[in-house]
Structure 1
Amino acid sequence: MDLLNCPNCGDIYVKHAIRDICDKCYREEEADYEKVYRFLRVRENRAATIERVAEVTGVKEELLYKWVRSGRLHTAQFPNLGYPCDKCGKIIRKGKLCEGCATGMIGELETFEMERNRQEALHKAVYLSRDKRK
C-alpha cells in the first residue's frame, strides 16, 4: 500500500492501481467528465474542439487531453479532439509524437547511426594500420 500526495489537491491518499488522484478529486473529475460527455452527446457539438469544449463546460484543457490520451473520449466519435505532441505541441490523435516530429527523430537516429558506423570504421582502420607497422 502506497501513500501519496494527490497531484491535484495535495491531500494524502492510498494509491489505487487505476487512479492517480485522491477520491475527492476523482469524484470531481467524474462530475466534469459527465458534463463534457453530455455536451459532446449533442449532435451539433460532436465536432467541437478541445478549446470549445473547455470554454462551454468549464473543464480544464489538461483534463480533456488526459481523457483523449487515455481513450476515454474517442476521437472516432469526436473528430476534432486531440492532445499535444510531446515534442512540439501540435494537436495529435494517437501516439506521443506528431508525424513531423516522429519523422525528424527517425532522421536524427539514422544520422547518429551512420556517424557511429563511420567512427567505428575509422577506429578499426587506425588499429589495423598500427598492427601492420609492428
Structure 2
Amino acid sequence: MAELRNCPTCGEFFNYTGIRDVCAKCARDEEKMYEEVYRFLRRRENRAATIERIVEATGVTEELLHKWVRKGRLQPALFPNLGYPCDNCGKLTQKGKLCDSCTEDLKKDLRTFEAAQEFREAVVESDRGTYLAEQRKNR
C-alpha cells in the first residue's frame, strides 16, 4: 500500500511504495546524475578519484554519492576511494553501518560486558550456595 510523503529533495508530494525515497521527477534527475558520475568513474584515470574530486568534476552532492555506495550502485571494489560515513564516528567505510575501528571497539565493550555479567552471576551463585549450606546446618 502506498503512503503519501513529501519528497526530501524538492518537497513535492509523492506515493511512497518502499522502492524509491524521492518523487519520480527527482528520481529521474538522480538517475541522470548517476549516469554522469558512472561515466566519469569508468575512465581509467578517474577510477581512484576521491569523493571530493568526483563532487568537483560532476557537481553531484556527497550525500548522493554516499547513498549510491550504501545501496551498492557504486562498488568500492571497483572504485577504491568511495565509501560512506560510519554512523558512529563519521570515518569513511565501505560496508555495514560502522567502520572497522568502531566495530572492534563495540566488540571489545561487549566482551567486557559479558565477562562482568558472568562474574556477577558467579557471585550470586556462590552466595546462593552459601545460604543453602547455612540453612542445612541449622536444621
Partner residue of 1:87?
A: 88
Query: 1 CA distance for matches of 2:112 and 2:45?
Result: 48
- 1:100 is aligned with what amino acid? S
Q: Give the number of aligned pairs.
A: 134
CA offset digits 1:54-86 (Å, max 9, x no partner): 111111101001101111011222121111122
Q: Secondary structure at the match of 2:49?
A: coil
1:98 Cα deviation from its structure 2 partner: 1.8
- How big is the shift at 1:111? 0.3
Segment drifting more, 2-11 vs 21-30: 2-11
| Cα distance in structure 1, aligned partners of 2:98 and 2:79 | 20
**Which residue of the partner structure matches residue 17 of structure 2?**
16
Q: Which runs of 5+ in 2 are unaligned?
A: none
Identity of aligned residues (%): 54
2:77 maps to amino acid = A
Unpaired runs of 5+ in structure 1? none
TM-fit CA distance, 1:24:
1.7
| Structure 2: distance between partners of 1:53 and 1:127 | 65
Q: Which deviates further from its counterpart, 54-63 or 124-133?
A: 124-133
SS of corresponding position for 2:19: coil
Q: How does 1:90-109 map to 2 (within 5 A)?
A: 90-109=91-110
Task: State the Cα distance separating 1:91 from its structure 2 match.
Answer: 1.4
**TM-score (normalised: structure 2):** 0.87
The CA distance in 1 between the partners of 2:12 and 2:115, in whole Å, is 51
Normalising by the residue count of structure 1, what TM-score does the alignment of the two structures yield?
0.90
Could you say what secondary structure the match of 1:20 adopts? coil
Distance in 1, matches of 2:50 and 2:126, equals 58
**Deviating runs (4+, > 3 A) in structure 1?**
none
Cα separation, 1, equivalents of 2:28 and 2:15? 15
The structure whose Rg is larger is 2
Aligned to 2:52: 51
